[in-house]
């Protein structure tokens, strides 16, 4: 069960990182070099592994800073693949595109995979694993990519890069429809969010453990990594009961989860480092904006506040 040993890496805490601040967003204004450097200096004493989602300007800045500043981070680099098929099951209606856009996405996705390979080979001392996509096969996604195409991407990366290759997805699709993909990846990556599934904090750890072990039981010979697990601190009621989220609950979940995965030696990326205001709806209490262990102004929330208190 020791995923660190199976991936040939040393034990350490892991965190999903996206550094977009107020007024910044993917495809718009990106964080500046000094802003990303500030973030990494905040994180580097307490986390060893970072997960990046996209081969974009932001990820390139992160990789350059880690190398330039000689910071002791290892990175899971992801390629963000966009919709190649319409998904009429997307509950917010975002999964439907024109045929013209879908054709454009085919080209964009291949370029993303090519860049993933390029950067993997340019930063082999920093990038320890590669992901060919994120939540692109789950029933509710707004960027649906069929399993056969994800398998093509996995094979392409494995042929051209040395790092282990995975695909990051909610735990559910691994249980009923990604058997062929599971045979191709070097390790399986799952996401577990009890609070999105209407679980109270008292049920949280047991539910995440159940999610993990259900996938592990189905694929006992394949390493399983948790690439997202987190607890929001605010909600406007959209998908999450506001009574189930606050900083105290996030702290409880974070500490329980870390105790468990440390004991079981499961590489687990907590979601996420910093709040991101660009996400979700314009409403200030939209839960998508409030998953960070730090506020968007970089002050720590309760879960990690003690790590940054002046000890004198």
The whole domain housing 116 covers: 3-308
Write down the pLDDT at residue 312.
Answer: 43
The CA distances from residue 211 to 16, 21, 53, 111, 215, in Å, are: 19, 32, 22, 33, 7
Q: What angle do CA 233, 278, 33 make, to 5 degrees?
A: 105
Give kind and range of the element (H or E) at residue 224.
strand 224-229
Cα separation, 50 vs 131, in Å, equals: 13
Nearest to 191 by CA among 157, 221, 166: 166
Number of domains in the chain: 1
pLDDT attached to residue 119? 98
The total of other beta-carbon atoms located within 10 Å of residue 42's CB is 18
- Measured in whole angstroms, the distance separating CA 54 from the mean position of its chain's CA atoms is 10
C-alpha closest to that of 110 among 66, 141, 150, 71: 150
Residue pair 228/253 in contact (Cβ under 8 Å)? The answer is: no
Reading the chain (312 residues) residue by residue, the pLDDT tens digits are 689 998 999 999 999 999 999 999 999 999 999 999 999 999 999 999 999 999 999 999 999 999 999 999 999 999 999 999 999 999 998 999 999 999 999 999 999 999 999 999 999 999 999 999 999 999 999 999 999 999 999 999 999 999 999 999 999 999 999 999 999 999 999 999 999 999 999 999 999 999 999 999 999 999 999 999 999 999 999 899 999 999 999 999 999 999 999 999 999 999 999 999 999 999 999 999 999 999 999 999 999 999 998 754
Q: What is the pTM of this model?
A: 0.97
Q: How many helices (H) and strands (E) does the chain have?
A: 9, 8
Q: Residue 310: its pLDDT value, please?
A: 72
- The CATH number of whichever domain residue 43 belongs to comes to 3.20.20.80
């Amino acid at each position: 069960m020791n995923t660190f040993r199976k991936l040939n890496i040393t034990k350490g805490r892991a965190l999903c990182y996206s550094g977009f601040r107020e007024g910044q967003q993917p495809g718009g204004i990106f964080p500046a070099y000094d802003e990303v450097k500030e973030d990494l200096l905040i994180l580097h004493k307490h986390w060893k592994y970072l997960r990046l989602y996209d081969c974009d300007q932001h990820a390139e800045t992160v990789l350059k800073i880690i190398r330039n500043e000689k910071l002791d981070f290892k990175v899971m680099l992801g390629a963000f693949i966009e919709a190649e098929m319409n998904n009429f099951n997307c509950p917010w209606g975002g999964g439907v595109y024109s045929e013209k856009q879908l054709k454009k996405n085919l080209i964009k996705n291949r370029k993303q995979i090519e860049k993933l390979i390029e950067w993997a080979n340019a930063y082999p001392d920093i990038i320890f694993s590669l992901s060919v996509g994120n939540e692109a096969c789950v029933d509710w996604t707004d960027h649906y990519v069929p399993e056969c195409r994800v398998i093509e991407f996995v094979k392409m990366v494995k042929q051209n890069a040395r790092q282990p290759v995975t695909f990051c997805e909610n735990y559910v699709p691994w249980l009923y429809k990604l058997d062929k993909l599971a045979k191709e990846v070097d390790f399986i990556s799952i996401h577990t969010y009890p609070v999105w599934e209407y679980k109270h904090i008292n049920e949280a750890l047991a539910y995440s453990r159940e999610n993990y072990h259900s996938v592990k039981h189905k694929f006992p010979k394949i390493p399983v990594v948790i690439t997202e697990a987190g607890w929001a601190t605010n909600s406007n009621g959209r998908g999450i009961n506001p009574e189930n989220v606050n900083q105290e609950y996030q702290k409880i979940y974070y500490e329980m989860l870390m105790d468990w995965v440390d004991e079981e030696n499961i590489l687990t990326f907590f979601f996420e480092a910093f709040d991101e205001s660009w996400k979700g709806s314009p409403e200030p209490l939209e839960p998508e904006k409030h998953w960070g262990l730090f506020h968007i102004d970089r002050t720590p929330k309760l879960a990690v506040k003690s790590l940054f208190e002046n000890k004198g």
